[in-house]
Amino acid sequence: MAQRSEMPGLPGKEFVQATEDFEQSHIPLKRSWGAFFLATIEAVCLFVVTAGRTGIALSAISASVTGWITFLHRDIFRIPALLLAIIGSVLNLWILWRFYRLRNAPSAAWRKRPLTAKERWRISIVLVLSVLTLFTAAFEIHLHRLTHHSFM
């Protein structure tokens, strides 16, 4: 089990004794579980304290932004932003429709190659985001009509 030392100045018997002492000294399992339990409690405590401070910072930021929201919700900013979002979404949907129509045309059959996974992923993201933008804009116009009794 223990080997003889080749180092000068360390006799063989002392090396064997030191090795046996090291092998016999181990931390009891009960102490290690206790340390693990205390470390877990400290980690949870740290998370709660950090989340509390983050909540305080977030509430201070939202309180300071409230004044800007009333300024930016005026019709001079809101209506052009809505129109730009709607036009951009419709343009994206038109481009996707043209892409599929031209891709599936009989004259393009000889050069048609399968779409890669990355291309399919990008197309589906554009499609979902464009439709989601149209629904969000329509919902905002509807809610604005209900609450403020104006056209847009």
The candidate with the shortest Cα–Cα distance to 79, out of 149, 150, 131, is: 150
pTM over 0.75: no
Three-state secondary structure call for residue 29: helix
Q: For 78-100, write each residue's pLDDT tens digit.
A: 899 999 999 999 999 999 999 99
- Which helix (DSSP H) or strand (DSSP E) does residue 108 occupy? none
Segments of the chain with pLDDT less than 50: 5
d(Cα 108, Cα 23) in Å, to the nearest integer?
76
pLDDT of 110: 86
d(Cα 16, Cα 4) in Å, to the nearest integer?
7
pLDDT of 21: 59
pLDDT of 76: 87
